[in-house]
Amino acid sequence: MTLTAEEFRRIAHYDPETGDFTWLQDRARARAGTKARRGQSPYVEMRINGELYLGHRLAWLYVHGEFPKGYIDHINCNQADNRLINLREATHQQNLCNRGRNKNNTTGYKGVYLIGPGKYKASIKENGKSKHLGIFGSPIAAHQAYSAAALRLHGEFAKVA
């Protein structure tokens, strides 16, 4: 059985300003949810009626009365930050755009890769495919090209840092 907004509101409270959950029944207003490791980032999870739910999806349910149709993007990339101002509906592709640089990237700039002494390649993903943006003499110049392309292609979901 799928959890409804009404049922969730009877058993827990969500504070949109802090992103915190508290139990209303049986647990004397104790803080609800635990931080669990999923992949590389901690998400808040809650077990309700034997089912495990992610906190950001429950926050959306609590405020909007239904689960999101797609993904929920954490704008500041902190998956434990469930304040309403930090959550937005997104497609899978939009959610992927709002990520930091690859861990293997040694230049310090998202979308910029050292390809030789004094040569930096800028590239970006567009519709799941890598798009070459050019070769540059400095990582800053390459990052400027990446940033302009990210803003043009990904709009509000562009993450340039």
pLDDT one digit per residue (tens) for the chain, 161 residues? 689 999 999 999 999 999 999 988 766 666 666 666 555 558 888 888 889 899 999 999 999 999 999 999 999 988 889 999 999 999 888 887 777 767 777 888 888 999 989 899 999 888 878 899 999 999 989 999 988 988 888 878 888 77
Where exactly does CATH 3.30.730.10 map onto the chain? 100-157
* Superfamily of chain region 100-157: AP2/ERF domain (3.30.730.10)
The three-point CA angle 114-120-124 to 5° equals: 95
Task: Kindly report, as residue ranges, where domains of CATH 3.90.75.20 are found in the chain.
Answer: 5-90
3-class SS shares of the chain: helix, strand, coil, % to 5:
30, 35, 35
Cβ–Cβ under 8 Å, residues 37 and 23: no
Q: Taking the domain 5-90, which CATH number applies?
A: 3.90.75.20
Q: How far apart are CA 152 and CA 146, in angstroms?
A: 10
Question: What are the beta bridge partners of residue 52?
Answer: 47
Q: Which of 124, 126, 125, 104 is nearest to 134 (CA)?
A: 124
